[in-house]
Structure 1
């Protein structure tokens, strides 16, 4: 995990480094995430950016069976 102390000591981390920290298995997903994050970076402060990277790049383990969060503005699928 990258902490704010590290950002102060080492400066802002490149997008690739923030995404690679999460060790995504899929190269396609990694590259897509890096491109998306690069587009978002100019519009947010560094703390928000790091939090977004953490949220998007972390893949829960099978032991973490958290329910899926609904996407705002979308109607859930009928069962």
Structure 2
């Protein structure tokens, strides 16, 4: 999986492992995410060698649903 992160003073695209899917949660393949220049640049300036994930107010497609998720299904477009 890919993610946008602040690391060592820059905004970078990094590879991340797919998270474990918890009961009641969904895995979403993000298509678009808001990135606020002020917040993200501040995080970039404060970042060190450990990446800090960026982005919020996203839209994407559900890839997987966890146990007990009944009103959402894979392939559904959602805002999150």
TM-score greater than 0.5 by the shorter chain: no
**TM norm structure 2:** 0.29
Higher helix proportion, which one?
1
Higher strand proportion, which one?
2
**TM norm structure 1:** 0.29
